[in-house]
Chains A and B, each alone.
Chain A
Amino acid sequence: DAGVIQSPRHEVTEMGQEVTLRCKPISGHDYLFWYRQTMMRGLELLIYFNNNVPIDDSGMPEDRFSAKMPNASFSTLKIQPSEPRDSAVYFCASGYRDRGSLLGARRGYLKAFFGQGTRLTVV
């Protein structure tokens, strides 16, 4: 498997423009996460899906951000309009619940696999 695939790898855009980030999760994974990483704030969860359904979008900064997962093999994160403070590395991760050898673990833990990220610069 090629892993989680994100595109583009780099994006430079002007303030006010629409930006669309794309993600192809690993086949068979039923969870998908969008994260943003900056030096100041570290790794922040924006939204996550389970079986293509958005479960928690409380991390989405504001209405300028939206995410969709139309099917199990594709998701997008859109920023419209973009602002310089949106500059960051955006990661998509897919995963599944794994109880593995965790004796006593009631639900298992989420084994997440990250893509290479999209480095977004808004000027």
Chain B
Amino acid sequence: QKEVEQDPGPLSVPEGAIVSLNCTYSNSAFQYFMWYRQYSRKGPELLMYTYSSGNKEDGRFTAQVDKSSKYISLFIRDSQPSDSATYLCAMSGDSNYQLIWGAGTKLIIKP
């Protein structure tokens, strides 16, 4: 079993819909949780990060961490075609900086 599980998709939704992207993990030592967005033929770029449990909001994006369930989510409100990309979750513990990555979910927003 992988340390971080993420459904590769693709996930296809109409423009304007609320999108929910998720990752589950097995290592309870993970404290830092990040979401990266990767456009086709580009490198990943950091979208959001959270520490421990709770929610964090940034514009149309909300990151949520539930450590009791070992489950993290990224919500995108009012989704736009420009949000079409692969979204990767990544996480790490407090003892080192090696990020453990999910496989990435390919998101397609249909106009």
Q: Is the interface of B mostly helix, strand, loop or mixed?
A: loop
B78 within 8 A of A: no
Q: How far is the CB of B94 from chain A (nearest CB, A)?
A: 5
B62 within 8 A of A: no
Query: Residues of B within 8 Å of A, CB-based: how many?
Result: 23
Of A13-21, A64-72, A76-84, A97-105, the one touching chain B? A97-105
B109 within 8 A of A: no
B31 with A114: CB separation less than 8 A: no
Q: Is the interface of A mostly helix, strand, loop or mixed?
A: strand
Partner of B32, one of A42, A93, A109: A109
Residues from chain A with Cβ under 8 Å of B34 in the complex: 109
B43 with A110: CB separation less than 8 A: no
A42 with B98: CB separation less than 8 A: no
A45 within 8 A of B: yes
B88 with A113: CB separation less than 8 A: no
A114 with B51: CB separation less than 8 A: no
Q: Which residues of A approach B to under 8 Å, CB–CB?
A: 4, 31, 42-43, 45, 48, 56, 91, 93, 97, 102-107, 109-117
**Besides the known contacts A42-B104, A105-B52, 20 further A-B residue pairs in the complex with CB atoms under 8 A apart:** A43-B44, A43-B88, A43-B101, A45-B98, A45-B99, A48-B98, A56-B98, A91-B44, A93-B43, A97-B97, A102-B49, A102-B51, A104-B52, A105-B31, A109-B51, A109-B92, A109-B97, A110-B97, A115-B43, A117-B41
